[in-house]
Structure 1
Amino acid sequence: MSRSDGGLVRAILGPTNTGKTHLAIERMCAHSSGVIGFPLRLLAREVYDRVVKLKGEKSVALVTGEERIVPPQARYVLCTAESMPVPTGTGETLPGDPGDLPRDFAFAAIDEAQLGIDPERGHVFTDRMLRARGREETLILGSDTLRPIIRSLLPEAEIVSRPRFSTLSYAGACKLSRLPPRSAVVAFSAEQVYALAEMLRRFKGGAAVVMGALSPATRNAQVDLFQRGEVDYLVATDAIGMGLNMDVKHVAFAGLTKFDGRRERRLHIPEMAQIGGRAGRHQTDGTFGTLALGSGANPEFSDEEVHAIEGHHFKPLDNVYWRNADLDFTNVSSLIASLEVKADEERLRSAPLSIDLAVLKHLAEDPRIASTPGQQARILWSCCGLPDFRKVGATHHARMVKRIFSYIGEGGHIPHDWFAAEVARLDQVMGDIETLADRLAGIRSWAYIAQRSDWLAEPVRWAERTLEVEARLSDALHDRLTQRFVDRRTSVLVRDIGAKGADQLPVTVAEDGEVMVGPEPIGHLAGFEFSVDPLARHADKRLLLAAAERRLGEELSRRAQKLIEAPDTAFAFGEDGERVGIAWEGHLLAKLAPGRSLTEPAVRTVRALDRLSAPQRSALRGRLEQWLDRQVERHLSPLRQLADSASDPSVSGNVRAIAAMLADAGGHLPRKELMSAIGALEKEDRTALHKLRVRLGPLDVFVATLLKPGAQQLRAVLQAVRDGTQVPLLPQPGASLLNEPVDASGASLAYRRVGKSWLRIDLADRLAAHAMKARGSNADPVDIALATSVGLEEKTLDTLMTQIGFAKEKNAYVWRGHRRKKKPHPHKRRRRKTTRPGNAFADALKDLKR
């Protein structure tokens, strides 16, 4: 078909985001049949899904190198440019075309026709632009740089310019940590893409990754991750510049140079515009700029480049690449010669050596292949069309092509066992990102082969098998990329911290204290203390704490109000290893510090309560002080009465002195420490002490009610607070005699040390009182029944009787009283020994007498 054959030909030219592809879809659906060729398989798939919704599955076909969906009654075909149906009589066929596709369409369109300048694939786009025609209408979609090419090669074509829907403006350089949400970062090597994605994971919670080396399914999954808002950032190679429609607001270039397969060069301005033009969709304006990497060699746009990109002013194309499509299959030599025929048009430039022709030339070095005639030459050329998905180069790729041709060159099929073994070898989802990407490249080759109905005995079966493996590998690669470069929790929190009002994600606190913001756990709330999830990375902990600070205020206020209204049973004493405090459900709410007296410690709330409002924090502290006061009143009211009496001026001085010492000691002291004060007591004083429930025992002075377990526990707590020590371990309640190793500071609260044992004070007092009553008579000073019931051993009893004032003589206890050392008279001075001169012999004699 000549260039001018067919109906109306229109060239729809303009920059990105002008709705060219959308227009082509609308025009195709308005016709009885149509075909559109796209630059990417994933773009063909995206449009296929859209057209299926409009026309139904039975009317729409999808044809790409690795995927083929062709219903019998298909009227609309979406395909890649290489798979696009071309007119018959040219010697060229579709890959694996079984003849079930029509070649006559009412409508035809080729998208991104400016790719005719691409060194590798340009000749394909040029060919489709010149030869693919619809009976009624043909659209050529592309950049405005195509205008002189269209005018020269297709003078009959109508040129329609379309303005960009939104503005694209330069935003300068920006640090990675300050990138605005919905940004795409563009780099030009896999290493830099991975490094930038890792940095964005730390700063922003992650990024989607798009590279040409990924399978279409993986790229789609990563783009969906960005489109759904699970991440706000995308890191990509220049693969995003073609056909990927995303809600990007800003494009940041991490570099402005790339390796194009032959050399490292600076991006051309149209390439910059094609990539930067991804920013801004429909009526939403977009921006582009560079990434400030802080390395001293940051990429920078020139003023000329910025002006051209913002105004869409690009140098028109002088020519496009072309390769002859009228091939001579007489033999391999004539085939190569026909492929290298030069065009007679000035605008058509001979295409560089592409991979298919390079492979053919390499195989032609084999004399047996060079002599391949006619139909076999046609089959050989179709084998050379196998894309080099693995990117191994012409020499290595030619080995695989040669083996395939050895099987099918004479009308045979690829062996089932070899095909199955190669597919099975690739059907493994274990491994890292690079390993899975290599397997995906391999399976895409076999998926392409499976579309060739003339190469395999069971093409439908193997097409399904290879697509299943590709889908599994794509899913696995997507998961690996997400695991490595996306921290969903951090991503959620970054968005949440910037949210306002109703846009905030809900916070939930489970019964076990797990705190979740939206779907992601951020830590654990124990009482009022929030701890970050232990599995969180160190760099993310500050973000999690910020999220808790922002979102837990309502929950903490609810808990505080609940405690303010809670009964006394909700609280208990607790320790945090350093200080004694008041706890709720095992969580410390306040620490106790020394106060005005033993029974009046200071209550200091923990720092976790600082998140509460000042009035609520004050109310909760007042509730804790109230609980502590009630505990003292319940268990230590005698001790409080002693303290009150010690400061009451109406009480006699002797009583005040004893009351003050007892109150300070916690309710009991050895009698010997109070002997002088007791000796000065009058009868009225003793009556007053009796009313205070003070027992002036032979051994100890104590308040009996303070020996109860509750009082002991509270006294231990308050004394530990006052002394700055830990609460001692108390004996079992009700124990009479302690013979096992015990905590001396705990036992001393209610027990008297008797040798190696501890005897409860009130029992020691009863034994001592019995002995004192019997000392003036012939009665046994030992209360045998009580001593036996307590379990006193003989040695322990001897020690106790000695403390009372009895000595054991001939198996009987005799009162000896409490002997005290005589103090020298204060007015009598001891004579000082002196050695007088001349009397040394007398002194020595005295020493001998001694």
Structure 2
Amino acid sequence: MNFQKQNAKPRVLSGRDVTAILGPTNTGKTHLAIERMVAHGTGVIGLPLRLLAREVYSRVVAKVGEQNVALVTGEEKISPPGARYSVCTVEAMPRETDAAFVAIDEVQLAADLERGHIFTDRILHLRGRQETLLLGAGTMRGILEKLLPGLSVITRPRMSVLSYAGSRKITRLPRRSAIVAFSSDEVYAIGELIRRQRGGVAVVLGALSPRTRNAQVALYQSGDVDYLVATDAIGMGLNLDVDHVAFAQNRKFDGFQYRDLNPAELGQIAGRAGRHLRDGTFGVTGQVDPLSDELVHRIEAHDFDPVKVLQWRSAAFDFSSVDALKASLDVTPPVEGLTRALPAADAKVLEFLSRDGDVRALADARERVALLWDACALPDYRRIAPAHHAEIVGAVFSDLARTGHVDEDYMAEQVQRASSTEGDIDTLSQRIAQIRTWTFVSHRPGWLADATHWQEKTREIEDSLSDALHERLTKRFVDRRTSVLMKRLRENAMPEAEISPVGEVLVEGHHVGEMLGFRFTADRSAEGEDARAVKAAAQKALAAEFETRADRFAASGNGDLALDSEGLLRWLGQPVATLVSGEEALRPRVVLLADEQLTGPARDKVAARAERFVNYQIESLLKPLVDLRDAESLSGMARGIAFQVVESFGLLNRRTVAEDVRALDQDARASLRRLGVRFGAYHIFVPALIKPAPAGLLTLLWALKNDAKDKPGYGDVVNALAAGRTSIVSDPAFEKAFYGLAGYRNLGRRAVRVDILERLADLIRPALSWKPGSGARPEGGYDGAAFVVTPAMMSILGATADDMEAILKGLGYRGEPKPAEEVATHLKSLDDAAAEKAATPAQAADAAAPAEAEAAAKTDDAPADAEKPAEAEAPAEEAKPEAEANPEADAKPEVETPAAAEAPAEKAADEEEEPKPVMIWRQARFDGRKRQGGGKGNNQRQQGRGGRQEREGAPHRGKPNRSKDGDKQGFKRKGGAGRPREERPARIDPDSPFAKLAALKDQLKK
């Protein structure tokens, strides 16, 4: 190993055979140096950045062949045997060479506080045998002529004009712009902003590996993106097709402090705008104050302050001891025009290690001190704390001093830590910096036992990390979709579109949005220029798709269409129209959900088909209502009731139309029944509508009419109906109308289906019609005018005893609590009496008579007023709408455990509780009128006149009072006798099977 010997006398500085090519950017200096080098048999060129060295290496290879060119940087060496030309970073240039040609680029960096002393050393001492070129800015002319007597200076003018364009927002910068910032955070923020607004950017940072940097530059150069975000790395000779340079920052950290860029630095970076003969512009973004007129003039005229001094550090190192080495680094410059450089990174590391006793013990000889200084030259690529970096250098030096090479296990461990390609941009950047450290170690002569293996290994890892970093940068800052679409639109070419079965729209293979029905929805992530590109490309690509879809929709069958609970008409699951309120609830308006591109006859076809389907849905699912609305056979009061049923969506409380119902004759009732209307004890309703599909449509139409789709409970009650629930716990927050639309009635804390309430009436009616002594007591019968709740009643309602109390009160019954023992005794006595009376066949026959009368009573509708039930329909015809809605409704009602069942089966004697009273239910008294069911009078209609109307839904049986002379009179008024009324014959429905049975009996008697 050769070490630089100390030279006590300064070397004589000379500029003989040295030419300085000076001038602003875009003067072709680097191009000239390449041409001059390949004109010689051998040559060395030094460049300021590894990125630029890679670019120049590629250009030289293209001229003379790969086998003739070597690339030498701190962490990369490509050295073909017999290579005649070397492309190096300035730090990696040899201090002495036998090459015929030497060139040093960007010599103005000799004034840089951190790296300047290295450039100064090469400028002053490195020479080519035949020709030496110094390339740089015109500001170096004076100092070079001072330091290098006999220097030949050639100035070159800029090939194009550079002018100031003022301040612009980042999102309004022209295409082919480079935005310059000096921190990675700012670069990333700008990149993300431009990606959202303009489709993407390429990113160039000084810390990028050559592989990543080249891939990013290729994105920009190829036109896939029109913007570049970079640090001042682009100011060092990177040749890019940049038309405009915008400064997003004008301050940077120079390694020691944050400071404003000086005019020369601004000019160096701004000069990247324009190439060859194409003019360029520069400016600032909204984050930076506009440049002053004086500064603009200086940049445009390339008029900058000359460099006064160059940074210098002695290269005559004293390796006799560590202290002697430190002292040699503090030597003052030998000539005027040079200034002693601040301590560099290697000097700082030496200072740290000189305090380590183990290191000083190992550095006990000249060769060991020189080896220590070589180890201190290990670059701090990661920019970590000096002490931490010094530990790594100390470990490397210890291995070299003890064993002659770096420990293989230690090397493997460090390399393995940097090998993972997982992580974000910053993580990968850190790993690349880390692997560069060990790449540098692998290329140091003699530092590793198997240097070739580790050079290949570290190169492989750096390449994989570089590729991963490029992928992350591209994914984060480049929207390839927008780039492709913008390019196609600029070329005015028809993009190729493809629509998947689920409506995904792909243009040129990129997802741009969704085609749902007749509306195109652009990708929600598209913004700014991206959104405009997507929309424009989609409009071009989908021009013919709308007419094609219109034809398919017009020819589609009903199976392809559906109307959902939100009022959306869907075609193959995609929304094409929506319903809005019309003049009538059963005639909603259809509004198409279509883009403006669906026009003319195509739009008319779609609208007509949508309206036909909606009308079909209403006329099929709500046929009873439609028939009632359009029935021409109805007249008079029947037509009025039909109108009210339609207006109330198929469900009326009988109480509200009691007077109208009394005015109906048998023919009118029969006409309404044939149209699907049922006259129940508590309601007048249409059983066919108490099904999920009709109920859902009714709820939708009512909600449209009343603007209630957003009210609580919408759809929930219909879902309960679809589940076969006979009753549900009502929610006070729900809109009350939704219960009625689904066929439920709110009674207490539960809502019960109205058809189930009519079945409850069928269970109550025999109990109220029964007279003690007339035969076996029916289930629930008490004394001929009252009843008790039975398990069957609770079962069909799915209610508890407490629920039953609220339900029956809501239906118009009044409850009377009695002791359980008294009730049980009374019922037992009734049952015993009935059993004794039925002991003989004759008595049994007599007992059957009331049952026959009871059956006849069921032929009428159960009245909610004082009418006798002369018009009741056959239970077989009316009592099963819930089975139609859900076959499991009877088999699995929602039953909550009755109170009796909830009681514990066993209790300790000392814990026995007194039995709860039993409620005895009777028909309510109103205005002093006593309502009692009457045996023989059940087939006669009796009506009390005067007084207020009865409570809603009370199933009363009127019993006439008699005057002193025994004549029948009307119900008594409060405080006086009721008005007498004449007895009217019972009217029996001629279509009823019971009427036919009665007629057959009359014929047999005759």
Per the normalisation by structure 1, the TM-score is 0.72
One-letter identity of the residue aligned with 2:159: F
Cα displacement (A) at 1:48: 1.9
- Asked whether the 8 Å contact 2:23–2:137 carries over to 1, the reply is yes
Corresponding residue number in structure 1 for 2:941: 819
Corresponding residue number in structure 1 for 2:610: 624
CA distance in 2, matches of 1:50, 1:58: 13
1:106-129 CA-partner distances (Å, limit 9, x unpaired): 433221122122223223323333
Distance 1:389 1:230, change over 3 A: same
Corresponding residue number in structure 2 for 1:38: 47
Moved more, 248-257 or 398-407: 398-407
Cα displacement (A) at 1:368: 5.1
- Asked whether the 8 Å contact 2:362–2:368 carries over to 1, the reply is no
Distance 1:386 1:590, change over 3 A: closer
Cα displacement (A) at 1:37: 1.1
Residue 61 of structure 1: SS of its match in structure 2? Answer: strand
Cα displacement (A) at 1:39: 0.8
One-letter identity of the residue aligned with 2:376: C
- Asked whether the 8 Å contact 1:638–1:693 carries over to 2, the reply is no
Cα displacement (A) at 1:532: 7.4
1:673-696 CA-partner distances (Å, limit 9, x unpaired): 977887599xxx99xx99x99679
One-letter identity of the residue aligned with 2:577: A
691, 701, 705: which one pairs with 1:721? Answer: 701
Does 1 or 2 have the higher relative contact order (CA < 8 Å, sep 6+)?
1
CA distance in 1, matches of 2:761, 2:473: 70
Cα displacement (A) at 1:270: 0.9
Cα displacement (A) at 1:223: 4.2
Moved more, 334-343 or 750-759: 750-759
One-letter identity of the residue aligned with 1:321: Q
Corresponding residue number in structure 1 for 2:441: 449
- Asked whether the 8 Å contact 1:730–1:746 carries over to 2, the reply is no
CA distance in 1, matches of 2:60, 2:318: 38
1:207-233 CA-partner distances (Å, limit 9, x unpaired): 554444444444445444554556554
Distance 1:788 1:745, change over 3 A: closer
CA distance in 2, matches of 1:349, 1:148: 16
Corresponding residue number in structure 1 for 2:574: 587
Give structure 2 stretches of 5+ with no counterpart: 1-10, 681-685, 709-713, 729-738, 745-752, 764-854, 861-871, 884-889, 891-931, 948-969, 977-1006
Distance 1:621 1:147, change over 3 A: same
1:713-751 CA-partner distances (Å, limit 9, x unpaired): 679747852674878959999xxxx99569875679998
Moved more, 68-77 or 334-343: 334-343
CA distance in 2, matches of 1:375, 1:107: 32
Give structure 1 stretches of 5+ with no counterpart: 88-102, 701-705, 760-766, 773-780, 794-806, 835-850
Cα displacement (A) at 1:86: 4.1
Corresponding residue number in structure 1 for 2:37: 28
CA distance in 2, matches of 1:36, 1:698: 104
97, 101, 109: which one pairs with 1:107? Answer: 101
Corresponding residue number in structure 1 for 2:501: 511
Correspondence list, 1:241-280, <5 A:
241-280=235-274
- Asked whether the 8 Å contact 1:176–1:291 carries over to 2, the reply is yes
- Asked whether the 8 Å contact 1:204–1:494 carries over to 2, the reply is no
Distance 1:758 1:383, change over 3 A: farther
1:589-613 CA-partner distances (Å, limit 9, x unpaired): 323345455664322234x556744
1:257-311 CA-partner distances (Å, limit 9, x unpaired): 3333344433221111112223333344332222323xxxx44423221111111
441, 445, 450: which one pairs with 1:458? Answer: 450
Moved more, 551-560 or 377-386: 551-560
- Asked whether the 8 Å contact 1:672–1:699 carries over to 2, the reply is no
Residue 755 of structure 1: SS of its match in structure 2? Answer: helix
Distance 1:597 1:450, change over 3 A: closer
Distance 1:373 1:713, change over 3 A: closer
- Asked whether the 8 Å contact 1:255–1:299 carries over to 2, the reply is no
Cα displacement (A) at 1:525: 4.3
CA distance in 1, matches of 2:676, 2:109: 109
CA distance in 1, matches of 2:650, 2:249: 81
Corresponding residue number in structure 2 for 1:575: 564
Corresponding residue number in structure 2 for 1:755: 759
Correspondence list, 1:477-516, <5 A:
477-478=469-470, 485-486=476-477, 488=479, 492=482, 496=486, 500=490, 502=492, 508-516=498-506
CA distance in 2, matches of 1:816, 1:469: 101
- Asked whether the 8 Å contact 2:166–2:282 carries over to 1, the reply is yes
Cα displacement (A) at 1:16: 1.7
CA distance in 2, matches of 1:415, 1:196: 44
One-letter identity of the residue aligned with 2:21: I
1:131-166 CA-partner distances (Å, limit 9, x unpaired): 444444443221122223444455655433333333
- Asked whether the 8 Å contact 1:326–1:338 carries over to 2, the reply is yes
- Asked whether the 8 Å contact 2:568–2:578 carries over to 1, the reply is yes
Correspondence list, 1:224-623, <5 A:
224-227=218-221, 232-293=226-287, 298-325=288-315, 345-360=335-350, 373-392=365-384, 397-409=389-401, 412-429=404-421, 434-478=426-470, 485-486=476-477, 488=479, 492=482, 496=486, 500=490, 502=492, 508-516=498-506, 521=511, 524-528=514-518, 550-553=536-539, 554=542, 557-558=546-547, 560-569=549-558, 572-577=561-566, 580-595=567-582, 600-606=587-593, 609=595, 612-613=598-599, 616-623=602-609
Correspondence list, 1:760-771, <5 A:
none
CA distance in 1, matches of 2:468, 2:602: 51
CA distance in 1, matches of 2:148, 2:588: 97
- Asked whether the 8 Å contact 1:493–1:543 carries over to 2, the reply is no
Corresponding residue number in structure 1 for 2:24: 15
Corresponding residue number in structure 1 for 2:79: 70
Residue 119 of structure 1: SS of its match in structure 2? Answer: coil
Corresponding residue number in structure 2 for 1:798: none
1:371-426 CA-partner distances (Å, limit 9, x unpaired): 85554454344333322334456665455444434443488222223322333344
- Asked whether the 8 Å contact 2:678–2:687 carries over to 1, the reply is no
Distance 1:516 1:758, change over 3 A: farther
Distance 1:267 1:831, change over 3 A: closer
Residue 492 of structure 2: SS of its match in structure 1? Answer: helix
Moved more, 160-169 or 525-534: 525-534
Aligned length: 755
Identity of aligned residues (%): 41
1:654-675 CA-partner distances (Å, limit 9, x unpaired): 9987987788788999999977
Cα displacement (A) at 1:444: 2.1
CA distance in 1, matches of 2:617, 2:627: 15
Moved more, 298-307 or 336-345: 336-345
- Asked whether the 8 Å contact 1:48–1:62 carries over to 2, the reply is yes
Distance 1:713 1:819, change over 3 A: same
CA distance in 2, matches of 1:250, 1:500: 20
CA distance in 1, matches of 2:693, 2:351: 97
Moved more, 278-287 or 629-638: 629-638
Moved more, 446-455 or 665-674: 665-674
154, 159, 166: which one pairs with 1:165? Answer: 159
Correspondence list, 1:110-259, <5 A:
110-154=104-148, 157-197=151-191, 199-200=193-194, 207-227=201-221, 232-259=226-253
CA distance in 2, matches of 1:72, 1:363: 38
CA distance in 2, matches of 1:198, 1:545: 15
Corresponding residue number in structure 2 for 1:797: none
- Asked whether the 8 Å contact 2:21–2:154 carries over to 1, the reply is yes
- Asked whether the 8 Å contact 1:658–1:677 carries over to 2, the reply is no
Distance 1:501 1:377, change over 3 A: closer
- Asked whether the 8 Å contact 1:247–1:281 carries over to 2, the reply is yes
CA distance in 2, matches of 1:563, 1:244: 57
Correspondence list, 1:730-809, <5 A:
745=741, 754-756=758-760
One-letter identity of the residue aligned with 1:237: T
Corresponding residue number in structure 2 for 1:777: none
